[in-house]
Structure 1
Amino acid sequence: MKSIITLPATSEALAFDGEPSDTELDAIELELPLIEAERDLLDVEIMTLDRPAAELDERRIRRARNRVLAARRDLTNRTAARSGGAA
């Protein structure tokens, strides 16, 4: 059986070094508060997987969800402000 090797169509594809570009790093930095809020929500949800949720657990989940919603709102407002639109 013959193997077929495909080559990149552009020289830019050849220069890819596996590292994120500055633009990608800026986008990650912009989204970092949302990423952290979602991670915290996941941590709280994982804590309650093996037991029934107590009142304190329900409060933790509710607060974590509210932080995620606030981070999404802030991210939307920041991206809208950068693009010149209003949210």
Structure 2
Amino acid sequence: MRKHLALIAAEPAAEDLAAIEAEWPLIAAELDVLDAEITLLYAEDHGGPTALDWRRLRRAEARVTRAAAELAAHAIPHRAA
């Protein structure tokens, strides 16, 4: 018996696209961390990571922290004191 899958033609809503756009700096920063970690793993096979490899990882992690803090600051409505 063969089952037919229904095609989904729905596109993302404007709110969904806006949320992705708002989170994109964090997503890009996390991808930079992943790339730096992969570089460290491959460096193990070629004599070990260099100081530059470690610095790249630290900077990428710092970008994630800054992007997450900025996203959180914009997501929480500020109250007047």
Using structure 2 for the length normalisation, give the TM-score. 0.76
Gaps of 5+ in 1: 4-15
Question: Which protein, 1 or 2, shows the higher relative CO under an 8 Å CA cutoff with sep ≥ 6?
Answer: 2
Using structure 1 for the length normalisation, give the TM-score. 0.71
Identity of aligned residues (%): 44
Q: 1:12 corresponds to which residue? A: none
* Runs ≥4 residues deviating over 3 A: none
> How many residues were matched structurally?
71
Larger radius of gyration, structure 1 or 2?
A: 1
Q: 2:26 corresponds to which residue? A: 34
**1:46 correspondence with 2:38:** yes
Pairing partner for 1:80 from 73, 76, 79: 76
Distance 2:42 2:29 in 1: 22
